[in-house]
């Protein structure tokens, strides 16, 4: 039986400081510190168990290129269970672990609001004339890309080769609804006459099929093996191939369909479905460049199929899976929503993609950019269209073009505001968030799989959280009711 598809999204935001010398690391630190210092005493991140150099294929990268973590940079844990920190030269928000795709949409949108609030908070300390702008996108349009990474809990027992076999065709074909859209291309030698607009932000930057890299020679399937939980039981599939989505339906489908595909892989329900591509990297780019969605891709077995057809085949299997095994692994009710929306969106893409302008990022952006282009009689090369593209992703509500498009919501404002400070209830993030809310000043450090308490007397005490599905509201609410101090909590947990 597939393990519950606990999931999360890490987003590196683009940042720019205007009116002064723009150092992205300083600006990011200022941004996050402004937000965090207003809220609470900062709880530091604990790096003890981080090992980003480990590879799912079974070997470890040693030596000078091992962990790329810069521990002196700002790093905070929020009461909603998220991590908010400076990664390289970007502010990064990692959602807490969520139990299903719909919950993850809420916490991803909460991240946008946290960034927007941070900008306001930073304004109070910036010198007059200076301002910070933040963009939830994946490229600066000059060949520099930054990531939006999804994470999914998986059963360690599933052979990684089987995961790659089935997930790669899904990553290539899902772009037709996950793309955030981009004016032009940043691939070397590709002109705007050839690619005036494409489905995704990221496709220009992928060069390998499978590998450990995230910044150079990016692979479609990333093999980082850093489970942040019991590594004998689980792996965490780290997905670097997706775009930063603003449209809630795009995020919902991106995570929902991928969770379903992974659950089917675990239960070996994709057996016999061979959508392996002859040239995955080229196919990935071709799908992103093909606005007609009609150009067939060459499969390894010689057949030719469009991304849409590949998605229909996968959906067909998912429906059968729902009948034979149920959808518990992705959340029964949410799983049903995913299936319905998946089918509706594929139907729309087949009949008339523009009918999805209220649901999918790339369709909405394309419609807006084309209308603007027509009205002002501009060429595809005009910087105004590039500006529209960038500003679609501006997280400031007053500047965001996305916010003006009135796209379909799967969340309410109240739910998203709540998710800025309240943790998800059905994963270990609940325990992390509640402890931080109640006893933040007694927590010396936190990371995904442990909390370290400082009670001021004894040595620091570490509470391991190796099971992503323990520490939920159902598990620990009674503990929080009976324990009034962190010492009582530690005693009740039997931690020494």
Partner 1 sequence: MPEREQKRKATTSRTEDVVEELPATSKQGDKLKAELDDLLDEIDEVLEDNAEEFVRSYVQKGGQ
What residue ranges bind partner 1 (CB under 8 A)? 12, 14-16, 24, 87-90, 92, 135, 139-142, 144-147, 149, 197, 214-215, 240, 291-294, 351-354, 366-368, 370-372, 374-375, 382-384, 386-388, 390-391, 398-399, 401, 404-405
CB of 243 to partner 1, least distance (A): 14
- Cα–Cα distance for residue pair 273/343, rounded to 1 Å: 19
Q: Who's near 306: CB < 8 A, 6+ residues apart?
A: 293, 294, 295, 296, 297
H-state helical runs in 82-227: 101-123, 160-173, 175-178
CB of 477 to partner 1, least distance (A): 36
Instruction: Give kind and range of the element (H or E) at residue 447.
Output: strand 443-447
Question: In terms of residues, how long is the chain?
Answer: 496
CB of 261 to partner 1, least distance (A): 23
Residue that is written with structure tokens 């997905």 in the block = 239
H-state helical runs in 377-467: 383-392, 413-419, 429-439
Residue of 87, 100, 121, 204 with catalytic role = 87
| 157-to-160, 163, 212, 235, 266 alpha-carbon distances in Å | 9, 11, 20, 9, 9
E strands, 272-405, in order: 297-298, 304-305
Nearer Cβ to partner 1 (343/370): 370
CB of 407 to partner 1, least distance (A): 12
Residue 151, token pair as written in the block: 């994470």
- Cα–Cα distance for residue pair 374/96, rounded to 1 Å: 43
Q: CA nearest 34: which of 124, 110, 116? A: 124
Q: Do 264 and 273 touch, CB atoms closer than 8 A? A: no
The crossing angle, in degrees rounded to 10, of helices 160-173 and 248-266 is 150
**Known active-site residue 268:** no
Q: Do 329 and 264 touch, CB atoms closer than 8 A? A: no
Nearer Cβ to partner 1 (387/444): 387
Q: Which residues pair with 7 in a beta bridge?
A: 98, 152
CB of 132 to partner 1, least distance (A): 13
CB of 376 to partner 1, least distance (A): 9
| 490-to-119, 439, 460, 461 alpha-carbon distances in Å | 37, 12, 11, 8
Residue 345, token pair as written in the block: 């969106």
How is the chain split among helix, strand and coil, in percent rounded to 5? Answer: 40, 20, 40
Q: Do 5 and 327 touch, CB atoms closer than 8 A? A: no
The crossing angle, in degrees rounded to 10, of helices 280-289 and 160-173 is 20
CB of 215 to partner 1, least distance (A): 6
Question: What DSSP designation does 126 have?
Answer: S
Instruction: Give kind and range of the element (H or E) at residue 9.
Output: strand 7-12
Residue 29, token pair as written in the block: 């630190």
Nearer Cβ to partner 1 (8/353): 353
CB of 171 to partner 1, least distance (A): 17
Q: Do 43 and 443 touch, CB atoms closer than 8 A? A: yes
CB of 306 to partner 1, least distance (A): 11
Q: Which residues belong to the active site?
A: 87
């Amino acid at each position: 039986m597939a393990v519950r598809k606990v999931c999360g999204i890490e987003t590196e935001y683009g940042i720019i400081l205007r009116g002064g010398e723009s150092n992205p690391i300083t600006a990011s630190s200022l941004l996050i510190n402004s937000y965090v210092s207003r809220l609470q005493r900062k709880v530091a991140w604990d790096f003890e168990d981080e090992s980003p150099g480990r590879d799912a294929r079974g070997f470890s990268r040693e030596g000078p290129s091992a962990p790329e973590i810069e521990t002196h940079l700002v790093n905070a844990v929020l009461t909603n269970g998220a991590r908010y920190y400076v990664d390289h030269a970007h502010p990064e928000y990692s959602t807490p672990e969520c139990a299903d795709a719909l919950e993850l949409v809420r916490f991803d949108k909460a991240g946008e609001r946290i960034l927007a609030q941070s900008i306001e908070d930073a304004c109070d300390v910036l010198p007059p004339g200076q301002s910070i702008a933040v963009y939830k996108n994946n490229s600066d349009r000059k060949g520099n890309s930054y990531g939006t990474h999804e994470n999914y809990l998986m059963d360690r027992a599933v052979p990684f080769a089987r995961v790659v076999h089935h997930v790669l065709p899904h990553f290539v074909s899902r772009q037709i609804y996950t793309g955030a859209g981009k004016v032009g291309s940043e691939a070397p030698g590709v002109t705007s006459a050839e690619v005036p607009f494409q489905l995704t932000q990221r496709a220009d930057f992928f060069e390998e099929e499978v590998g450990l890299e995230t910044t150079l020679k990016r692979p479609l399937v990333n093999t980082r093996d850093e489970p942040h939980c019991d590594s004998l039981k689980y792996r965490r599939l780290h997905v670097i191939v997706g775009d930063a989505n603003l449209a809630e339906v795009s995020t919902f489908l991106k995570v929902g369909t991928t969770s379903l595909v992974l659950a089917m892989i675990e239960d070996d329900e994709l057996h016999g479905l061979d959508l392996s591509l002859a040239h995955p990297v080229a196919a990935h780019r071709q799908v992103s460049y093909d606005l007609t969605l009609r150009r067939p891709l060459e499969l390894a077995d010689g057949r030719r199929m469009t991304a849409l057809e590949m998605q229909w085949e996968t959906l067909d299997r998912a429906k059968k899976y729902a009948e034979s095994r149920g959808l518990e692994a992705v959340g029964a009710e949410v799983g049903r929503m995913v299936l319905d929306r998946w089918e509706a969106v594929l139907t729309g893409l087949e009949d008339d993609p523009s009918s999805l302008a209220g649901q999918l990022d790339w369709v909405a952006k394309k419609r807006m950019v084309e209308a603007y282009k027509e009205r002002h009689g501009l060429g595809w090369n005009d910087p105004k269209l590039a500006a529209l593209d960038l500003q679609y992703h501006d997280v400031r509500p007053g500047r965001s073009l996305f916010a003006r498009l009135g796209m379909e919501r799967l969340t309410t404002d109240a739910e998203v505001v709540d998710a800025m400070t309240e943790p998800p209830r059905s994963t270990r993030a609940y325990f992390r968030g509640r402890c931080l809310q109640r006893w933040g000043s007694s927590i010396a450090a936190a990371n995904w799989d442990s909390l370290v308490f400082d009670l001021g007397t004894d040595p620091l005490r570490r509470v391991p959280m190796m099971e992503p599905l323990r520490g939920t509201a159902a598990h620990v609410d009674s503990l929080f009711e009976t324990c009034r101090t962190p010492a009582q909590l530690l005693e009740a947990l039997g931690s020494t």
